[in-house]
Each structure stands twice: as structure tokens, then as C-alpha cells.
Structure 1
Amino acid sequence: MTEQTAYPRLMHTALDTEDARGLAEFYRELLGLRYRPGDEPPTEGPDDADWLVLLDADGVRRLAFQRVDERLPRSTWPSHDVPMQLHVDYAVPSSVELERHRDRAVALGAEVLLDRTADEVEPLVVLADPAGHPFCLLVARSVAP
């Protein structure tokens, strides 16, 4: 047994949403990802995608989007009435980049849930994507595996 087969490996993180294409487009733009071949938006006709995958520049799966028929309850974080259950953290190298990416996320349709960009110890911002999934942008000057 090799190190590669000794444990399961993360394939991608999948997000449920009523609008798979819309949420995929949000993260594609925010993170600079690309569609898995065959998942690109159609050039003609309706877009009835119910499962889409985004890849990074190296072709590694990062996020998947699954269409659901009913509206999911949005997290009420920081209140625990409807908890997050899962969120993803994205690192940026500086406070300047944190503010830039926060503004980009908001322009793409994210909602700011908590803004600690001015925090000198741990600058971060918690946002909700257009479907209500919380995610964090935070300053991590070096991110080791």
C-alpha cells in the first residue's frame, strides 16, 4: 500500500444549490477556476445543469455544485438558529489583498456576515455566497500543506 492509497483523498467539496450554474459562476470568477470539460455553459438552448465541477489551473477538482429542487435554509451565523455545518477558508497573503478580494466577492454577489479586516492579530472576513453558504477569506502569509 502506497501513501497515496493508504487514505481517502479529498476529491472536491460539493455545494447544494437551487442554481448550480449561478453558484458555479460565482466561485469560478471569485477563485479563478475553470469548468471540467463538458461542464461549460451551453452556447445554445436552456442550461439545465444539475451537477457541475470546477478545476484549478492544474486540472485538480476543487468545487462541485449540485442542483436541488427546494430552497435550503440559509445559515443564520453568527446566530446558531441555523448553523453553518460546513464552511471553507480561503487564504490571501496580505490585508490589502483581503480587502480587495472581499470587495470582489461582494461585487459578485456575496454578503458580508462578519468583517474583521482591521483586526491586527487575525484579519478576516466571513461571507455568504449567493446561495447562503458561509466562507472565510483570511490573511495567512504562508500556507503550508
Structure 2
Amino acid sequence: MAQTDPTTTHPRVVQTVLDTTDPRRLAEFYRALLGLAYRSGDEPPAPGEPDARGADWLVLHGEGLWPLAFQKVPEITPPTWPDPAVPQQLHLDMTVPDTATLDAQRARAEALGARVLLDRREDPDEPLYVFADPDGHPFCIFVG
């Protein structure tokens, strides 16, 4: 029996899009946190120059990750996780090799503007932190 080509029988994820009231600010947060680069043409403008691209849609890419895009919306209602009043609906999971790196990444994330929503650093099976990015989108960093 002939095998089917998954590129013609299934959709392919090309990027994850995060809604934000400020695409440049949120893109800069994830660029710094994950070491990503802007898609050609999406780089920040020179100081004092208008940021036409950053006013609507920006894309970051990096090795081993499909692109992250940032879409301008008029307002955001941040998830209230773990309170279910406003569900998170989507979150990003990120891994690090050990607890020393986990601790270093917590410090980096907080310095970049994230806040800790859950501290499971002492969990013997899966040490992790759940953070909210500057717009309130949850993401996890765990030892994996």
C-alpha cells in the first residue's frame, strides 16, 4: 500500500500567534527570553523612527521552534489561571536541563517582565515555574 504524503493530507502548523496590545513590547520580551531573531523586515526601527511593522504584526524565529507571531488587538483580558474565570486557552512549554538552569531562567524571565504564577521548583518529579508574560499569557519553564 502506498504511503500518503502528510504535507498534502494534513495542515501544517506554521506559527503560533499571541494577541497583544503592543506587538513590539511582547516580541522583545520573547526575543530576549528565548534568543530568537526577527523575520527580515520586522527588526526594530532606528531610534526616533516610526515602527510601522511593530504597530500591527511581528514574527520571531529560531532554531528548533516554529515562528512566534505577535498580532495587535485593541485590548487583552489576561487569563486568571489558576482561577478558571478567564481560562488560559493556550500556553507555551519550555524546558531546561537542570534546576540550576531553571533558577537562572526564573531570574531572567522576571528581569524581562514576567511574573511567577506557580512555583513548583521543589517538585521532585518535575520542577517547574508557571509565569505570565507582560500581557498575562501563561508559559511554563520546567526541567525536562
Q: Tell me, yes or no, whether TM beats 0.5.
A: yes
2:21 is the alignment partner of 1:18 = yes
CA distance in 1 between partners of 2:22 and 2:103 (Å): 27
Structure 2 alignment gaps of length 5 or more: none
- How big is the shift at 1:133? 0.3
Among candidates 118, 134, 138, match of residue 138 of structure 2? 134
2:68 is aligned to 63
Q: Sequence identity of aligned pairs in percent?
A: 56
User: Matched residues in 1 for 2:66 and 2:6: separation?
Assistant: 20
SS at match of 1:81: coil
With 39-48 and 9-18 compared, the bigger mean Cα shift is at 39-48
Distance 1:103 1:5 in 2: 44
Distance in 2 between the 1:24 and 1:62 partners?
Answer: 11
Distance 2:59 2:10 in 1: 23
Other-structure match for 1:108: 112
Q: Given residue 36 of structure 2, which amino acid in structure 1 is its aligned partner?
A: L
Q: Do 1:53 and 1:61's aligned partners in 2 also have CA atoms closer than 8 Å?
A: no
- Could you list the runs of 4 or more consecutive aligned residues of structure 1 that deviate by over 6 angstroms after TM superposition? none
TM-score under structure 1 normalisation? 0.89
Root mean square deviation of aligned Cα: 1.4
TM-score, with length taken from structure 2: 0.90
Q: Which runs of 5 or more structure 1 residues have no equivalent in the other structure? A: 141-145
Is the Cα contact below 8 Å between 1:52 and 1:65 reproduced in 2?
yes
Aligned partner of residue 30 in structure 2, secondary structure: helix
Give distance in 1, aligned partners of 2:21 and 2:51.
Answer: 13
Matching residue of 2:78: 74
CA distance in 1, matches of 2:13, 2:96: 22
Correspondence 1:84 to 2:115: no
Number of residue equivalences = 138
- Bigger radius of gyration among the two: 2
Q: Deviations over 1:54-73 (max 9, x none)?
A: 01047x64200001122x11
Tell me the secondary structure at the aligned position of residue 14 of structure 2: coil
SS of equivalent residue, structure 1 residue 41: coil
